[in-house]
Amino acid sequence: MVHYQQGDPAAATALVERLSPQLFRFFATQMGSRTDADDMLQDLWLRIHRVRHTYRPGQPLLPWAYAIAHRVRVDNYRKRRRTSREIGVDVLPEPAVPEGKHSEVPAFQELLATLPESQREVLTMLKVQGLSVEEIARATASTAGAVKQKAHRAYERLRSFLQPKTAAQSARKGIAR
């Protein structure tokens, strides 16, 4: 990143190649649409280029990049919300479930969709991207305690979502015996 700040084109290419897959996954897990994730990734790299002077050498790069990615995602969400209101769409169409994909346990994306935006973001950064609590706190401009609280609440919500299915399955097994 320091070489990129100094204008080295090879460093810029290496930075994009190294971070893009991870940042794309961050956007894709939140959006579900590959084209939206691609658009946000492009927007992210434009913003990083514009604000590269704000990176402090010696500081961890990922929290700095994820803080910018977080803002890109929030801005994209707001833009989509404005657009959906302008079009006048009351109800978004439900995504089609591919045949043969019916199972008793919902897919990971479906589980994430049940969480509030802030909890989904923290859980994605923590479990999918592998960032530490401190890195997430820096990226989201919050405290480590707030990140832990959001993660805990996300886990509790996911447990409660999955629990009734598990209890119903156990009850059926008990009756079958």
Q: What is the pLDDT of residues 90-104, one digit of tens each?
A: 555 565 555 555 556
CA gap 120, 154 in Å, rounded: 7
Please, what is the average pLDDT of the chain?
A: 80
- Domain assignment of residue 18, yes or no: yes
pLDDT band at 65 (very low <50, low <70, confident <90, very high): very high
Residues 11 and 74 in one domain: yes
Q: Per the domain annotation, does 95 fall within a domain?
A: no
Q: How many domains in the chain?
A: 2
CATH of the domain at 150: 1.10.10.10
Cα 114 from Cα 106, distance rounded (Å): 11
Token pair 């940042």 is found at 23
Does one domain contain both 121 and 148?
A: yes
Question: What is the extent of the structural domain holding 130?
Answer: 103-177
Per-residue pLDDT averaged across 7-33, rounded? 88
Q: How far apart, in whole angstroms, are the C-alpha atoms of residue 87 and residue 90?
A: 9
The verdict on 13 and 83 lying in the same domain is yes
The verdict on 71 and 152 lying in the same domain is no
Q: What angle do CA 62, 68, 71 make, to 5 degrees?
A: 140
CATH code at position 61: 1.10.1740.10
Q: Could you read off the pLDDT of 119-142 as tens digits, one per residue?
A: 888 888 888 888 888 888 888 888
Confidence at residue 177, expressed as pLDDT on a 0 to 100 scale: 46
Tell me the C-alpha distance between 107 and 137, whole Å.
27
| DSSP H or E run through 10 | helix 9-31
* Rounded-to-5 percentages of helix, strand, coil across the chain: 75, 0, 25
CA distance to 22, 103, 151, per residue, from 100 (Å): 30, 8, 32
84 and 160 co-located in one domain: no
Q: Has residue 98 been placed in a domain?
A: no
How much is the average pLDDT of 6-27? 91
- Distance, in Å, from the CA atom of 63 to the CA atom of 8, rounded to the nearest integer, reads 22
Its pTM stands at 0.51
